[in-house]
Structure 1
Amino acid sequence: MTQTAVVILNYNGAKFLRQFLPSVVAYSPSATVYVVDNGSSDDSEGIVRKDFPSVQWLALEENFGFCGGYNRGLRQIEAKYYVLLNSDIEVTPGWLEPMINILENDSTVAALQPKILSYQNKKAFEYAGAAGGYMDFLGYPFCRGRLFTFLEEDLGQYDDIKEIFWATGACLVIRSSVFHQFRGLDEDLFAHMEEIDLCWKIQRTENRILYYGKSKVYHVGAGTLGYESPRKTFLNFRNNLIVNYKHLDAGEICYKLPLRILLDWLAALMFLIKGKTKNSLSVIQAHAAFFSSLRKHAIKRKALHQQFPTYSRKNIYKRSVVAAFYLLRRRKIDIRRD
């Protein structure tokens, strides 16, 4: 069994593989690097086999999405630790070993993420993960170093080791036993929010999730779907409702879900006012998709709550991040103090 497998999910990402695999291979000497291909039609395979002979190639017959692709790929990889790494990430010297050492020496840690900085502006945090993920009391995810569209400059303020609620799927270091304990990622989500769902499951156990700010990687971001993509809007809004419905306690659902739906409709209205008609329609479609599949999610919810009745709330912001950002004009939140 390989101790550490760095696993890159690829779909027609020849450009990113050519650009970023050199750093992954060079700076991950203790790991075996895999590319799991989601049925690409470009020359990804040729590039990997010719230019990166040490990289293992695993081909899937079609595009199963982020969740399905990783689930199928990781079932074929025997390793003690998995690193789910986006194809559009440049890693840095010494990025991986310290996080593996933490897993080796602390059995309570189930998963970690490094500092996520922007590839385009290496002094700034990047949207997908930044300095570690949290949730507010209504189930809105946010990060240190990034609140909605506001990205902080990296001045060393988050060069710490911090317990967090969720770690980014862009660079997720996780015990393989934990990944398979929860049967991997929820394929009904297809892509987006799947790492939050998995981390929320971890929060239902005695295990912890950490941010390790002494390691850093640079992320291009929106490599598959642009940030303004209506498809991305649909997935984010639908999946956030699914994840919250699966995890919130019965009493919480009674008032939190209606509030979330109302706020989503306000978001749809804001999209419309800004002339983003397709994004506005995506919110409505997301709600329709959520309610039409509610029975299926209810079955999953019941099974999850029977096995793991409650979850840790110590890394949940007790107020509304939406109100803090848009009404109070806050650009930083410290959940320990605020």
Structure 2
Amino acid sequence: MINLPRVAVVILNWNGLDYLKQFLPSVCASTYSNLDIIIGDNASSDGSVVFVHDNYPQVKIIKNDRNYGFAGGYNKILSQLDHQYFILLNSDVEVDPNWIEPVISLMESDSKIAVAQPKILSQANKHSFEYAGAAGGFIDYFGYPFCRGRLFDTLELDKGQYNESSEVFWASGAAFFIKRSNWLEMNGLDADFFAHMEEIDLCWRLKNEGYKIMYCADSQVYHVGGGTLQAESPFKTYLNFRNNLVLLQKNLPANRAFFIIFIRFWLDFITLIKFLFDGKPKNALAISKAHVYFLKNIFQNISKAQKINKSKFNRFGLFRGSIVWEYFVKKNTTFSSLKKTF
């Protein structure tokens, strides 16, 4: 009998009782044999821990003393585990029974594969890709992340166009597979991100060391999305704009980071003006606050920046053009319509 790697599915929970009731049964029905399912709780107050304890005795519960966010919460939980593979799974994700086997098989095939994700479809419309991850993540020259199957708010229907497993730039935190050895090598997620783009940062740090990030087309999951922070939330806007700037400063060579961030400040200002015209002053203010935070903490983030070895950097998935220009000016709304070289 083949000894399968020991895998931990870790669901970080913060007041997610309704999602656990709806989707934990599908996770518990997973067919992978060498598996532990763990709820990492970020100090919930909605009875979700009691619910899991009473109804799913096979599920292990690890409690944090307070809400450390997505990044800090996972860091604290995973530091207590010794499995060969970690799967960071959002509580609002429904899974197929055999969703784990194809991804682990793919990752076992190559020692350079550090991270992978399955195909992520919408739980509400299972024929459509979902916003957070779709068929794998990419990033453009100016640091804007996007997905195969989702450009900005345009979601493609799944017609089999992305049914081949392949390398990508980043994997979605909604269903994030990582080898424990690589997690430890990178010291996990950057807890200062709190939430949003911390998985992109981790993938980028791994790519700077020459590792591969993969999309596994033979596995699929179904994500609700926006379970904790809704798309229109000013706090989500703040985190996205703040963390995107930090992401660039940490992972680009210093001279290029200065140039790209200078341009991004102006592009962000255009978005701020658009929010004001759209009657969303709180979102506009969130961008301003993100810039203030970035400037106040610029030296702290410099200290966390990697020394970039260009000969090691795995550039696959880096789009050499501007996704903003392609989408809003040239009206290319699908991944296949992008002509620039990756």
TM range (shorter): over 0.9
The answer for unaligned runs of 5 or more in structure 1 is none
Alignment of 1:110-259 (within 5 A): 110-259=114-263
Find the counterpart in structure 1 of residue 329 from structure 2: 327
Distance 1:6 1:13, change over 3 A: same
Match of 1:6 among 6, 9, 19: 9
Encode CA deviations 1:130-177: one digit per residue, 9 max, x unaligned: 010000011110000000010001111111101000000110011011
- Confirm or deny: 8 A CA contact 1:316 1:335 kept in the other structure: no
Measure the CA separation in 2 of the matches of 1:325 and 1:316: 16
Measure the CA separation in 2 of the matches of 1:205 and 1:226: 34
User: TM-score, normalized by length of structure 1?
Assistant: 0.96
Measure the CA separation in 2 of the matches of 1:309 and 1:144: 26
Q: Given the alignment of the two structures, is residue 273 of structure 1 paired with residue 285 of structure 2, yes or no?
A: no
Distance 1:99 1:111, change over 3 A: same
Match of 2:27 among 24, 27, 35: 24
Measure the CA separation in 2 of the matches of 1:173 and 1:36: 16
- Confirm or deny: 8 A CA contact 1:317 1:335 kept in the other structure: no
How far residue 220 of structure 1 moved from its aligned partner, in angstroms, is: 0.5
Q: Given the alignment of the two structures, is residue 57 of structure 1 paired with residue 50 of structure 2, yes or no?
A: no
- Confirm or deny: 8 A CA contact 1:7 1:83 kept in the other structure: yes
User: TM-score, normalized by length of structure 2?
Assistant: 0.95
- Confirm or deny: 8 A CA contact 1:2 1:78 kept in the other structure: no
Measure the CA separation in 2 of the matches of 1:334 and 1:123: 18
Find the counterpart in structure 1 of residue 39 from structure 2: 35
The alignment partner of 2:127 has SS state of: coil
Q: CA RMSD in A?
A: 1.6
Encode CA deviations 1:190-222: one digit per residue, 9 max, x unaligned: 000000000001111222111011211000000
How far residue 254 of structure 1 moved from its aligned partner, in angstroms, is: 3.3
- Count matched residues: 336
The alignment partner of 2:6 has SS state of: strand
- Confirm or deny: 8 A CA contact 1:205 1:308 kept in the other structure: no
- Confirm or deny: 8 A CA contact 2:326 2:338 kept in the other structure: no
Find the counterpart in structure 1 of residue 97 from structure 2: 93
The residue identity in structure 1 corresponding to 2:202 is: L
The residue identity in structure 1 corresponding to 2:39 is: V
How far residue 255 of structure 1 moved from its aligned partner, in angstroms, is: 2.0
The alignment partner of 2:219 has SS state of: strand
The residue identity in structure 1 corresponding to 2:279 is: G
Distance 1:262 1:28, change over 3 A: farther
Measure the CA separation in 2 of the matches of 1:307 and 1:11: 38
Identity value in percent:
45
Measure the CA separation in 2 of the matches of 1:298 and 1:310: 21
Measure the CA separation in 1 of the matches of 2:68 and 2:153: 29
The answer for unaligned runs of 5 or more in structure 2 is none
- Confirm or deny: 8 A CA contact 1:116 1:129 kept in the other structure: yes
